[in-house]
Structure 1
Amino acid sequence: MVKAIIFDFDGTILDTETPWFYAFRDAYKEHGVELTIDQYSECVGTNNNTFNPYEYLMTELGLPIDKEQFRLKIHADHSALLEKEVVREGILDYLKLAKDAGLRIGLASSSGKAWIDRHLEALGIAHYFEVICTADDVSQVKPDPELYVKAMEKLGVKPEETIAIEDSPNGARAAVAAGMSCVIVPNPLTQMLTFDQETRYIHAESLTKLDFQTLVGAHAG
């Protein structure tokens, strides 16, 4: 029986990820470098430890770029692109339906608390989440399962009672590693990435195409 739903944030609730890629891609192009999806995918849904797009041009290619000016440009370009984004379709309906059904609702994000709190308040949806776990709460972010494990512990639910809503391969791996089923709703960026072949993945083009009652009912028992 499903007792809880835990949402990812970046790329799932609000598509912050596609604007980040476009901002970095265009900045790299100005320096004569192509940023590929394969390269960038290493930091989608996780941190920048494997691939740091802020530093790659300087540390790996040795380009004489002012690090702080580069960072400021990326953030300015990302902010401009993000202004056009709204809560992804189906998210608000799922939050309302989950609340009406008496399900516990959590959020597990590899981003920091300040980033998450700011956006949830701006979007007017912070009140839906009983538990919010961010990078500030764990030692390892996704694809490590720690964020989901901690969120479930705080909600008082078991993996078999919980469904994760994700958009990226790293996030989906974290959910399954935590023992959960995972609905994958890719955004324009993550739909170009390769997901593992996993029986506990439920793929949906949009949450509007995945009936809430059918999803919850399929995990009853």
Structure 2
Amino acid sequence: MRIQDFEGAIFDLDGTLLDSMGVWHQIDVDFLAKRGIEVPDDYQKAITPLGALEAARYTIRRFHLENDTPEGLVREWLDMAQEAYSSHLPLKPYALNFVKYLKEAGLQIAVATSSDDALVRPCLERTGLMRLLDDYCTGNDVKRGKGFPDIYLKAAAAIGTDPGKTMVFEDIAEGLKGANAGGFYTVGVYEKANYRMHPEMMEIADEFIFSFRELLPDDRMAD
């Protein structure tokens, strides 16, 4: 990767820039336990690429939750996550340094996340990412999930960059597949919660990193 070859960069939020996957795992555990259900091994992988409403519909279908509505589930999940996003979830190591580095190099920067705007905006503002972004998109802005290119194409259009000259950073295989389908340069990002996906991610991404430190010059390690 040569930064000067690109016009822009689009980042996933959860698990890529933000160390938040542990919170979502616990929400899955607590939410399903209230309904007498244990979390299946494949549940988080199934819902991670989806927008909130689509994930809620999937959950209702899979677990036959006839007494729940998609809107009600989304509200319950948001209420459970709100405090963590607004007050203490940290960025992953060197994530802020790398976004600053790209911004100062003249790239247009966007976030493309499946999370709801009610969580995303307070988190971006608290962590200092918002002032570095040219735009951001959420799962509410597109109809299809991250297995499709829609959200990445929307983000690229918002920041005015050509997909072929735009990097997409993702921590899930479905996100990389969707970005590949849109013609983007894809970078898989290590996330311990998604370790089972890593062999697939290494195959389908243009590049795979274990830390943003790998992409930073030595003089950009400190904030």
Aligned length: 211
Amino acid in the other structure paired with 1:42: A
1:207 maps to 2:209: no
Q: Shift in Å at residue 196 of structure 1?
A: 4.8
Amino acid in the other structure paired with 2:40: T
Q: 1:99 to 1:80 in 2, by over 3 A?
A: closer
Q: TM-score, normalised by structure 2?
A: 0.77
Structure 1 vs Structure 2 CA RMSD? 3.3
Decide which of 6, 9, 16 is 2:20's aligned counterpart: 16
Q: 1:156 to 1:34 in 2, by over 3 A?
A: same
Q: 2:187 aligns to what?
A: 183
Unaligned runs of 5+ in 2: 218-223
Pairwise mapping of residues 109-124 of structure 1 onto structure 2 (< 5 A)?
Answer: 109-124=113-128
Q: TM-score, normalised by structure 1?
A: 0.77
Distance 2:163 2:31 in 1: 41
Distance 1:102 1:166 in 2: 21
Q: 2:145 aligns to what?
A: 141
Distance 2:88 2:43 in 1: 25
Q: 1:219 aligns to what?
A: none
Moved more, 188-197 or 102-111: 188-197
Distance 1:33 1:95 in 2: 40
Q: 1:125 to 1:116 in 2, by over 3 A?
A: same
| Partner SS for 2:42 | helix
Unaligned runs of 5+ in 1: 214-221
Pairwise mapping of residues 49-88 of structure 1 onto structure 2 (< 5 A)?
Answer: 49=54, 55=60, 59=64, 78=81, 85-88=89-92
Q: 2:50 aligns to what?
A: 46
Distance 1:92 1:100 in 2: 12
Give per-residue Cα distances to partners, 1:110-163, cap 9 Å, x unaligned: 223332212111222201110212223222231211111111122222122111
- Is this contact kept in 2: 1:43–1:52, CA < 8 A? no
Distance 2:72 2:157 in 1: 42
Structure (1 or 2) with the greater helix fraction: 2
Distance 2:75 2:204 in 1: 42
- Is this contact kept in 2: 1:111–1:134, CA < 8 A? yes
Q: Shift in Å at residue 5 of structure 1?
A: 0.9
Q: 1:51 to 1:94 in 2, by over 3 A?
A: same
Distance 2:128 2:216 in 1: 22
Q: 2:97 aligns to what?
A: 93
Pairwise mapping of residues 157-176 of structure 1 onto structure 2 (< 5 A)?
Answer: 157-176=161-180
